Structure 1
């Protein structure tokens, strides 16, 4: 008597990730490690004393709203790519890049407000940490805005659509990661003054 082979005995296809996505996630993990080290150093140095207390500039609250909005527009662009709505994709990417640029300008204005409050990069470590955390995050936002422009250019040439969604997924994931990282940093700085 012959028995039927069940589906569970069939060889399983290994799960895999696109190599470029894998590389991006490794990069994200390295960024997480850098900021985890910096925020840990912040806490350790703060405990040693000689720590100047100051309020974060109010403009950083505005920049937080801007970056949250940019996450929404990036998701809107991603949805446009998924359903082959090139108009939505392009508009979403353009708005996201503009909001990213506005975020950077607001961060710079925040630094100007810190200077007006007599909080400098050189001097008390509390101010130095704020400059380093916001500046390093800003560098990553610059890289993300460049990445958005690259994907926007590809979308203008018709190379981003539902059949070639990997690059769009990557830029969206990187952008959302940087947004979440800013929220973490902002809350961290608010709670650890």
Structure 2
């Protein structure tokens, strides 16, 4: 349960920071002057609010998975499976994809179309490399006899990585549409919101992957144990 509390705490901190950046606590009806005098960026776009709600739901879903994982591994029939080495390369690919989208966000704010296109393209290629690596990890485990139904630990590994991969695959659809528009548009400003939404989604999935990987490797439990020892 320690790992699930840690995960929820991290999500709560990030959520509070994100909301503070969106200006949702402001009271526009108390602002002085006419409506036309209000700052153009004072209101949060509905798409950003929608994405925030969606990420909260997805975070809760993964929190439930991780909680079930932590409880199920306490039973005697649990047999941990080896972590394929390719997962570390996959992690680097996902981090590179998130970093590329961060660069694309900076480029779209500066109005630099060439840098924006390169960033979006690099993010998409890196994300596809991550998904391909995940499939290779599944194939390696199945060839070694670690099948889905062979043990609860195997099932949780496939479910956690599979659900995460499906969310990334869905994000690739939005990223692909944004990239296609970037190659047609001559100005960066119309793409700003789409790029920022993609970047936020990618950063979130990277965080979820780090937490999931730490749980699968046992690092989260060790970290919680160390914290408990320091507090006692």
- Aligned-partner Cα distance in 1 for 2:164–2:80: 22
d(CA) in 2 for partners of 1:107, 1:163? 34
Deviations 1:8-54 (A, max 9, x none): xx933796421111111111011001100001001111112200122
The residue aligned with 1:3 is: none
Equivalenced residues, count:
184
Runs of 4 or more above 6 Å deviation:
none
What are the ranges of 5 or more consecutive residues in structure 2 without an aligned counterpart?
1-28, 33-37, 222-232
- For residue 157 of structure 1, the aligned residue among 176, 179, 184 is 184
Distance 2:187 2:211 in 1: 31
Counterpart of 2:137? Answer: 110
1:51 matched to 2:51: no
Aligned position for 2:44? 17
Whether contact under 8 Å (1:83, 1:162) holds in the other structure is no
Q: Counterpart in 1 of 2:105?
A: 78
> Structure 2-normalised TM-score?
0.74
Q: Distance in 1 between matches of 2:186 and 2:59?
A: 31
Please tell me whether Structure 1 or Structure 2 has the larger radius of gyration of its CA atoms. Answer: 1
In 2 relative to 1, CA 30–102 (structure 1 residues): closer, same or farther, beyond 3 Å? same
Structure 1, unmatched stretches of 5+, are: 1-9
SS at 1:52's partner residue?
A: coil
Q: C-alpha separation between the residues in 1 aligned to 2:199 and 2:187?
A: 13
RMSD: 2.0
Which of 148, 164, 168 in structure 2 is aligned with 1:121?
A: 148
